[in-house]
Amino acid sequence: MELVRDIGEELKSSYLDYAMSVIVGRALPDVRDGLKPVQRRILYSMFEMGLRHDRPYVKCARVVGHVLGHYHPHGDQPVYEALVRMAQDFVMRYPLIDGHGNFGSIDGDEPAAMRYTECRLTELAEEMLADIDKNTVDFQPNFDATLKEPVVLPAKIPNLLVNGCSGIAVGMATNIPPHNLKEVCDAIIAYISNPDITVEELMEFVKGPDFPTGGIIVGRRGIEEAYKTGKGRITVRGKVEVENGAIVIKEIPYMVNKAKLVERIADLIRNGKIEAKTVRDESDREGIRVVVELKSGTDVKTVLKKLYAHTPLQTTFGIINLALVDGEPRLLSLKDLIACYVEHRREVVRRRTEFELKRAEERLHVVEGLKIALENLDEVVNLIKDSESPEIAKSKLMEKYGMSEKQAEAILQMRLQKLTSTEISALVREYEELKCKISKLSAILSSREEIDRIIVEELREISEKYGDERRTVIVDGEEPLEETVEKNLVVITKNGMFKRCDLNFKGREVLGMPVKDDEPACAVICRTNQKLLIFSDSGKAYWITVGDIPKQNRTGRGVNVRRYLGLKRDEKVVSAVAVDEFDEGYVVILTEDGYIKKTKLSEFANAKRAGIIASNSRIAFARLFEDGEVVIGTDYGYIVRFRAEEVPEKGRNARGVKAINLRAEDSISWMSIGKGKELLILSKEGFGKRTDLEEFRLTSRGSMGMKGIRGSVAVVEFVKGDEDVLVFTKDGHAIRVSVGDIPKQSRNGRGVEIYKEGIACAVLI
């Protein structure tokens, strides 16, 4: 018979069936025992095989075969992977399987094949299965309906919280972190005592996730959000110590591959992004030990900040408390997780008590019959002797003493040794004990408080027996990483060497920069959280975060800027400016042929490493725009002065407008924008002076300028007289001078000698 159906409806129905199969039967854990179906089947199979913690190990292949053949007819490799995961102490906070052999490593090494490894249950896993034979949980048919398997385990351990779980279903995922067993048990006990307890009050017991690999959780906001809503993000860092100038990593974040972490650190060292000599993995059986050996004079805090920012030494763990509740996926708060577990344990204890009560009542019924027989021993013996068959004897006993068939059968099966005085006394004692036990079990079933008392007692025993101290430290802090913002000096040479150093220059000091056949091109005072926008003579702009520039002491030679930015071999740095953000403000660009423009900083946001066109002409100088005036100095000693408002706004590809008419063979040396009553003028020949601004006529754009100093202008800056200036010489010295100590001269004056070997550039402090 042909069945006609809309293809859309068929696809929708089939996909929903598939999705629910993945959600319920594969990817998500049950809120009650915290296990996925494959994990539950592995543990139950091992329980059936008698693989207790005090029994010999067996081959994992044997366990996998039992699971496949009886309960989980899927691939052997996924089953083995699930088994291995439950045995890895760097994945499971409290492993459920005791593995013997190579079960993989935190470096990402694969476990040995299942034919080589061996396993058995841990003692903790046996607590998960405790009382499963006492009708505590429901059973369902296996895949071919030849066997029964548990729907859920009794779970005396709150496994979902203490071991966590991760899984990707269809359209949803779960990522529940592990917790400390003691803390979770205390929280459950507190909930049982006060069902109206709040999440905040529960957090007094459960401080936060407790990962098997330790580490440090930074901030509590993500934890609180996850415990209240079921979703949250936490920042996890590795634990580090400083030993003899080296950074030693003792713990790493949860689920981070140590080998890849070491490889990433090595790449950063090789690329010059971290000022370190080498990285060594000295981990052994005692624990993790990764040593990052630093170069002499390197700032430890800066390197550590970069390790957190650029390696998995700091990661983000996204908490998603999604689990199956009554067969449906639900996002759960901390209180919901605890409440669902408590309800499960109440059901387990109730069913266990009912089972034990039924057994006790059945035994009491038999003992009562035996007691009647012993009280009428001679008559009973004669009755049995006179009977023609056991069936007739049974009928006579039932008729004469009002016994049930079960009681009569027990009397007929009783051995003669039971007639000794010792055995009779034991039977009487058992009778009294059974009556007492039945009374207690009945009292438990009739009282919710008694059931809760039993759960609390069991939790306290579990906590005392298996609990341990917290491994993961939680520190206050709302930000994932508290950056240390420093005020530093960045120096860049014409050939592209650059470095970052502390701003602690006093008097005349050897800077150790530039290198041979080079000289400083520009110097910028900036903060480590700013961006350094760098301009090259070819008309391109690049930027780098100041904190990513290698920090060295004042004698350091620097590193090549081309290791960080895509400058070509013949491309030279001419200027640099420090930028907080690219969302507002302008940068003024002056070309070698005297054209000027201001361009929005936002147009340079995407420059980064590859660079971006800043001008269609060769750039001579760049400064951030501000209100006031513009002064331009030339190699022939001329200075042009005009209002900053005359600089037009143009795009990156525009040429700009004429700012200065250069004389033949003359070239631009410096540009400054701002306000002041004086100009500080330094010459390339090594002289300096202060000159009243009014000595330079305020003109419109495009003039040829007025003579400003005898010699070539190296630096011309607006000053007030109370600043310091850090002068960089052509041979690599740095001289800090108070501007007020530099004498004032007319624009025709030569100035006083500051450094006889010549001045390259300067920056006001």
Query: Which residues are known catalytic residues?
Result: 116
Pairing of strands 473-475, 216-218: parallel
Structure tokens at 326: 């009554």
Nearest to 735, CA basis, from 525, 556, 554, 509: 509
Residues 232 and 319 sit within 8 Å (Cβ to Cβ): yes
How far apart are the C-alpha atoms of 165 and 29, rounded to whole Å? 7
- Sequence-separated contacts (24+) of 26-29 with Cβ below 8 Å: 26/167, 26/169, 27/167, 27/168, 27/169, 27/170, 27/173, 27/174, 28/167, 28/169, 28/172, 28/174, 28/322, 28/323, 28/324, 28/329, 29/160, 29/165, 29/167, 29/174, 29/176, 29/323, 29/324
Question: Residues 11, 17, 20, 25: is their CA dihedral positive or negative?
Answer: negative
583 phi-psi bin (left φ>0, alpha ψ -120 to 50, beta other): alpha
Q: Do 508 and 735 form a contact (C-beta atoms < 8 A)?
A: yes
d(CA 672, CA 696): 14
E strands in 227-379:
231-237, 239-243, 246-251, 276-281, 290-294, 314-320, 322-325, 328-331
Q: Using the 8-state DSSP alphabet, how is residue 196 labeled?
A: T
Residue 760 sits at the vertex; the CA angle it makes with 756 and 764, to the nearest 5 degrees, is 105
Cα gap 392→406, rounded to integer Å? 15
- As a whole number of angstroms, the distance between CA 763 and CA 627 comes to 20
Dihedral of CA 698/701/706/712: which sign? positive
Kindly report the CA angle at 179 between 178 and 184, in degrees rounded to 5? 140
Run of H or E residues at 665 = none
CA atoms within 13 A on the CB side of 442: 8
The sheet with strand 508-510 has its strands ordered as 508-510, 733-738, 724-729, 759-764
- The 3-state secondary structure of 520-555, one letter per residue: EEEEEEEECCCEEEEEECCCEEEEEEHHHCCECCCC
- Strand pairing partners for 100? 118
Chain-centroid distance of CA 172 in Å reads 20
- Please, what sign has the CA dihedral across residues 273, 277, 281, 286? negative
Bridge partners, 328 (sequence order): 325
Q: Are strands 216-218 and 276-281 parallel, antiparallel or unpaired?
A: unpaired
Q: Residue 63 to residues 58, 114, 120, 146: CA-CA distances in angstroms?
A: 8, 9, 9, 19
Helix (H) or strand (E) holding 579: strand 573-579
* 653-668 per-residue burial string, b: 16 or more CB within 10 A, e: under 16: ebebeebbebeeebeb
Q: How many residues in total does the chain contain?
A: 765
Rg (CA), the chain: 41
Asked if 31 and 325 touch (Cβ cutoff 8 Å), the reply is: yes
Of 83, 111, 108, 112, nearest to 256 by C-alpha is 108
For residue 577, give the amino acid letter: V
- 3-state DSSP call for residue 261? helix
